[in-house]
Structure 1
């Protein structure tokens, strides 16, 4: 009898809960992020529906901060300090197949992508620690590879941080540009 009363009470509670109406005028929506999240694949015509068999080799997910009239490098982004290479959560790069970066073999998988910008060169850092906010919890002991790349000037200022790829004979160069600065680093596909 106790079980029957318990089951009946449970059914009444579930029925009442499932019939509860949500007032759409009371919903709270997140405001628009000033540094929207974006993703870029290599090859550039790949999409999230593509698989390795369809040709997707690399995916980068990052947030795109704006210049908004500010001096970016050496000011907003400090020289000589670790940077998440974007805004909000740290930038992540996913390799669908093994690659080689800076002469080092990198297994397929997802990595955080950081940079240490300087005026004439940057250190690009692949780190095994993912799902972090910014570079606040950055742990150098989890670096997978570090490479130094030269800084190039853009032909015109880039308002939003942008990441793209250019195909090469052995893989692709990843380009990152913002303000009047861009860098690239080579990724070799195995």
Structure 2
């Protein structure tokens, strides 16, 4: 009798466990601003990266860029969590030396320029908790206008003579952020 009770209890437990595990896995819908990563070198086969940026890609969806990234206000440089830049070697942002590591990247858009900010804060949602005291580096760079519009916010690294450039694009606005060695 003990064996049959034990077998019944185990069968009940397994059935309950399988039932709970099959129904407990509720997966979210796709994010409206999906995360993306850009790295340099861009070739996924090249593991010797200089830098990487992880960010979310908001879409215009009929809205203006000024509405989504207002002039004069700190912006998270994307959507959802603030963008994070990882430098795999010491580099410079403007004249400021930045040690290898991971930093949150904010931007302050203006009509003809963007101030790019690297902050030591990490895992930050939006720019609601931005603290200027935690800035590691700031650089004001020109903003230019392209002929074509990008619906989704995008970032890509390109090679420069003495380092790399992180290119930001959204709507017709283009911003080039130089990181030098």
> Taking structure 1 as the reference length, what is the TM-score of the superposition?
0.83
1:94 counterpart (86, 100, 123): 86
Superposition pairs for residues 1-190 of structure 1, below 5 Å? 16=13, 20-22=17-19, 24=22, 27-46=25-44, 54-73=47-66, 75-189=67-181
Aligned mates of 2:54, 2:161 — CA distance in 1: 24
For the residue of structure 1 that corresponds to 2:138, the secondary structure is strand
1:63-106 Cα shifts (integer Å, max 9, x gaps): 00001121112x22211000000000010000011111111111
Quote the Cα distance in structure 2 between the aligned partners of 1:139 and 1:22.
47
Q: Deviations over 1:30-58 (max 9, x none)?
A: 011100000010111146xx5xxx42110
Cα distance in 2, alignment partners of residues 22 and 102 from structure 1: 57
Indicate if the aligned counterparts of 1:171 and 1:186 stay in contact, CA closer than 8 A.
yes
CA distance in 2, matches of 1:92, 1:76: 19
Aligned residues: 171
* Cα distance in 2 for residues equivalent to 1:185 and 1:26: 44
Query: How far apart in 1 are the matches of 2:137 and 2:155?
Result: 19
SS state at 2:18 partner: coil
TM-score (norm 2): 0.87
Q: Unmatched 5+ residue regions in structure 2? A: 1-8
